[in-house]
Amino acid sequence: MTAKVLLAIWMAIIIAAAFLYTEAASGFPGETSRILFFHVPQAWVATLAFLLSMIASAVYLAKRRVTADDLALSAAELGFLFCVLATVTGSIFAKATWGSFWNWDPRETSIVILLMIYGAYFALRSAVPDPEKKRVFAGVYAILAFITVPFLVFVVPRITASLHPEDTMNPANPGMDPKTLKVFLGSLFAYTALFVWMLRLRMRILRLEEMREEERRRQI
């Protein structure tokens, strides 16, 4: 209970600090750099969620413990959510900074592919009615998707760098002054904590649904 409240307060502090405490970074038009306090942690959580989902899938395939699949699913759902957020905030930033919503630079491309992977994952899960099979298939797909990621990371920059000669700037690490750094790290922590909190909540819901299933079976 208290953890929830503390998290909410922390998040509020971060949001306030992002606008009031820090100064807008130079080299970016106007106040646009502030979005990075939100955009980067969102992207970070989206990728973390993907990694978590893949590991949980591997554990499920090895041990067949349903909690592992619950974790994989919950992480995927939240990862998708944060992925959408990251895409939207990134797009807003792109519009403000470079004048267009979408540029297909390496990062934007990767985030779209990640969105497609999540979408495919959910589509697969809903297309398989048998619960055990659904979990196995989803787990296999998560792993397959994950192993194509190194190719994506390695290959895409080679390609798009030449597609768009004006090298799009990587906004992840502009030189940060101490105040900005503090708020940035604070935001990173806040988003991760938010993710973990939502993850546990979602897993609890899944677990309750399973318990209800088992109860129904026992009554037969």
Partner 1 sequence: MSACSLKVSELCKYYSSTLLFKDISFELGPGEILGITGWNGSGKSTLLRIIAGLVRPSAGQVEMFYEDEPIPKESRRKFLGMVAPALALYEELTALENMEFFCRVRGVSYDRKNCLHIMERVGLTEHAHKMFRNYSSGMKQRLKLVQALLHEPPLLLLDEPGCNLDSKGIRIVEEITSAQRRFGMTVIASNEKREVDYADRVINLSE
Partner 2 sequence: MKSGRWITQTESSTYLNEAMAIWLRDLRSEFRTRYAINAILMFAVTTLVAVSFSIGAFRIGEAEKPFLYAVLLWIILVFSALSGLSRSFVKEEEAGTMDVLRLSARPQAVFLGKLFFNLTLLGALELIIVPSFILFMEYEIEFPGFFAAMTISAGLGLGAGTTIVAAMIAQASARGALFSALSFPLLFPLMITAIKGCERAAAGMDSAGWPEVRIAVAYVIIMIIMSLFLFPLIWEE
Which spans of this chain sit near partner 1 (rule: CB under 8 A)? 131-132, 213, 216-217, 220
Task: Specify the residue, 143 or 203, whose C-beta has the smaller distance to partner 2.
Answer: 143
Q: How far is the CB of 212 from partner 1 (least distance, A)?
A: 9
Q: Can you read off the two tokens belonging to residue 131?
A: 């619960």
Does 165 interact with partner 2 (rule: CB under 8 A)? no
Of 125, 116, 126, the residue nearest 69 (C-alpha):
125
Cα–Cα dist 203/205, whole Å: 5
Q: Considering CB distances under 5 to 8 angstroms, the limit depending on partner class, which of partner 1, partner 2, none binds residue 206?
A: none
Q: How far is CA 6 from CA 15, 20, 26, 39, 192, in A?
A: 14, 21, 32, 22, 14
Cα–Cα dist 90/32, whole Å: 11
* Cβ neighbours of 31 (radius 10 Å): 12
Task: Specify the residue, 23 or 132, whose C-beta has the smaller distance to partner 1.
Answer: 132
Does 152 interact with partner 2 (rule: CB under 8 A)? yes
Q: How far is the CB of 132 from partner 1 (least distance, A)?
A: 6
Quick one: residue 3, left, alpha or beta (phi over 0 = left, psi -120 to 50 = alpha)? alpha
Does 145 interact with partner 2 (rule: CB under 8 A)? yes
Cα–Cα dist 199/205, whole Å: 10
Cα–Cα dist 125/130, whole Å: 10
Q: Considering CB distances under 5 to 8 angstroms, the limit depending on partner class, which of partner 1, partner 2, none binds residue 131?
A: partner 1
Task: Specify the residue, 155 or 211, whose C-beta has the smaller distance to partner 2.
Answer: 155
Task: Specify the residue, 5 or 220, whose C-beta has the smaller distance to partner 1.
Answer: 220
Q: Can you read off the two tokens belonging to residue 112?
A: 């779209």
Kindly determine how many residues on this chain lie close enough to bind partner 2 according to the rule CB under 8 A: 31
Q: How far is the CB of 130 from partner 1 (least distance, A)?
A: 8
Q: Are 196 and 149 in contact (CB under 8 A)?
A: no
- Locus of tokens 């030449």: 162
Per-residue interface string for the shown chain with partner 2, residues 32-71, x marking contact by CB under 8 A: -----------------------------x----------
Q: How far is the CB of 91 from partner 2 (least distance, A)?
A: 20
Question: Which alpha helices (H) appear in the chain, and where do they start and end?
Answer: 2-16, 36-63, 66-98, 106-127, 131-163, 178-219
Residues 102-141 that bind partner 2 (CB under 8 A): 113, 116-117, 119-120, 123-124, 127-130, 132-133, 136-137, 139-141
Q: Which residues would be at the binding site for partner 2 (CB under 8 A)?
A: 61, 113, 116-117, 119-120, 123-124, 127-130, 132-133, 136-137, 139-141, 143-145, 147-148, 151-152, 154-156, 158-159
